[in-house]
Amino acid sequence: MKTLPPNLDPTRLPRHVACIMDGNGRWAQQRGLPRIAGHRQGARTLKDLVRCCKDWGIPTLTVYAFSTENWQRPLEEVSFLMRLFERLLHQELAELHQEGVRLQFLGDLGALPAPLQLQMHRATTETAHNQAVTFNVAVNYGSRLEITRACRHLAEQVQRGLLAPDDIDEASLEQHLYTGSLPGPDLLIRTSGEQRLSNYLLWQLAYAELYFTAALWPDFDRTAFAEALQAFQGRDRRFGRLSPVEQALPA
Ligand code: FPP
């Protein structure tokens, strides 16, 4: 499925898709494999999804790779994930760059291992001008912390006399989020049957359509993605307004 499946309308695709890549551990356990095998397979799934977004004309993809709460996992798994992120960046950067992928990282990156930070910095600067797909990876990310941090930045500006409290609006707060001026996701996909946001993009998802699937992340292939997009295209997005039909009826 290199081209967009015929049942999808190319003019009504989401501009920005966010994913909570859940179920790697269960995928591995179901096969009698260690959990890390699930993360490895999950990374392959992710790689194809980035390519799929490019092939099908979806300009922005944002995935949740590691939350601020994930440090509580066994040390062995955390270390594996950190090494996996670093290795993938090292191995895949040239190809992603060649394909026009712009890589960005969201989260408290300063707390990550130094070699990983270095790879992230390199990936961000090298791909900064690419335009085919913007691929955001949330690492050591927590939405409440992100919003708190944005408030702190604004408070500091007020304290320094650079900003009046009345000047604080949604747009100025948004500028201080990790996502900056990036438009919010139109569609959030969470795999593995869980139906929670888990502290992910709480501000940015205000008007996103939510799609939950029982598929485990390593099994989330192009067919599963097409199903999510089809569900998205079947939604009536009103952003708090009335639908055109309701609009035409007397109040
Ligand atoms: C959640 O599944 C998955 C993660 C915490 C890690 C996600 C990482 C990848 C997909 C690897 C590649 C990512 C990048 C950005 C290079 P889980 O472990 O919570 O699964 P479970 O709920 O079945 O235990």
CA of 169 to the centre of ligand 1 (A): 35
Distance of alpha carbon 57 from alpha carbon 1, whole angstroms: 13
CA of 42 to the centre of ligand 1 (A): 7
Contact between 228 and 211 under an 8 Å Cβ cutoff? The reply is yes
Domains for the chain: give ranges and CATH numbers.
Answer: 13-141+184-232 (3.40.1180.10)
Q: Measure the CA dihedral 150/152/155/160, to 10°.
A: -110
Report the DSSP beta bridge partners of residue 133.
101
Ligand 1 atom closest to the CA of 42, numbered from 1: 10
The pLDDT, as a whole number, for residue 240 is 75
215 within ligand 1 shell (Cβ under 6 A): no
The pLDDT, as a whole number, for residue 245 is 73
CB atoms within 10 A of CB 242: 11
* Consecutive 10-residue averages of pLDDT for the chain (251 residues): 93 98 98 97 98 98 97 96 95 96 98 96 97 98 98 98 96 97 96 98 97 98 98 87 76 73
Q: Which residues are catalytic?
A: 22, 70
- Reference 20, options 232, 223, 187, 230; nearest CA is 187
CA of 60 to the centre of ligand 1 (A): 20
The pLDDT, as a whole number, for residue 251 is 73
CA of 183 to the centre of ligand 1 (A): 25
The conformation of residue 215, written as its DSSP 8-state character, comes to S
Write the residue with the smallest CA distance to atom 12 of ligand 1: 43
The pLDDT, as a whole number, for residue 118 is 95
Quote the pTM value: 0.94
Write the residue with the smallest CA distance to atom 10 of ligand 1: 42
Write the residue with the smallest CA distance to atom 1 of ligand 1: 22
107 within ligand 1 shell (Cβ under 6 A): no
The pLDDT, as a whole number, for residue 246 is 75
